Structure 1
Amino acid sequence: MNKLKRGAIATVVAGAAAFGGVVAIAPTASAAGSSTCTVDIANATYKTTTSVNLRTGPGAGYTSQGILATGTHFYGTCKYDTSYGVGVPYNVWTYGKVTSGANSGKWGWVSADYLKKA
């Protein structure tokens, strides 16, 4: 990190501390790769059930890398699952590689709600 960025961050943190505030630093989009996974899956091939975003992380708040058209093939390697209770899915995202269509070759996250086994 260069000196200018370190200085700016230190100023913000010091200012927040002086006024009794808290500074939350969000992870970068690149930090939401497979290390974010909570469940390994047997590498599975899926198809999208509708047009859906390929995202940089497991959530709608992450940046879209492109739209996957209905029927796009997606090779899933793991999932991010924040289920509450047994068998009650709340927020499940699949990480993997797009293997067909305009975004073929890209890695990212797709909501499991829009995937079915191929």
Structure 2
Amino acid sequence: MRTPARLVALTSAALLTTGGATLAVAPTASAVSMPSKCQYAWNTPHYAKTTAVVNLRTGPSTSYSSKGNLSKRTRFTHYCIAYPHGKNWAWGKVTSGPNKGKRGWVYYKYLTL
């Protein structure tokens, strides 16, 4: 059985206990060290899947080298975007498949909820 990404985030989050009640606090996007190329950071991570086979790149453009291919429906959690030359690129972490754990850039057009 698969564990939903949000449950994993809560599992790795800090727990606060007050008066017998426990409150889970999920990490914010600011808790992740983001590259300087990010132009807009989300308040919370965005969970997505790829819509086609795409490259995970070292930077927000096709001029950057590929870190590997992500298969269609690979899960990708993104924390910020950059838009060089009017193209949206998302930076984040691969959360499924052979490249799981790698961080990099994916062209935003190929991501969906």
| Structure 1: gaps spanning 5 or more residues | 1-32, 84-89
Q: C-alpha root-mean-square deviation of aligned residues, in Å?
A: 1.3
- CA offsets, 1:7-34, max 9 Å, x none? xxxxxxxxxxxxxxxxxxxxxxxxxx62
* Larger Rg, first or second structure (1 or 2): 1
Q: 1:18: which partner in 2?
A: none
User: By percentage of residues, which structure has more helix?
Assistant: 1
Query: Which ranges of 4 or more aligned residues in structure 1 deviate by more than 2 Å?
Result: none
Q: 1:40: which partner in 2?
A: 41
Q: Quick one: percent identity of the two aligned structures?
A: 43
Contact kept in structure 2, 1:40 and 1:78, CA below 8 Å: yes
TM-score, with normalisation over the residues of structure 1?
A: 0.64
TM-score, with normalisation over the residues of structure 2?
A: 0.66
How many pairs were matched up? 79
- CA offsets, 1:71-118, max 9 Å, x none? 0000100000247xxxxxx3100000000001000000000010012x
Contact kept in structure 2, 1:34 and 1:78, CA below 8 Å: no
| Structure 2: gaps spanning 5 or more residues | 1-33
Q: 2:64: which partner in 1?
A: 62
1:69 Cα deviation from its structure 2 partner: 0.1
Q: 2:108: which partner in 1?
A: 112
User: By percentage of residues, which structure has more strand?
Assistant: 2
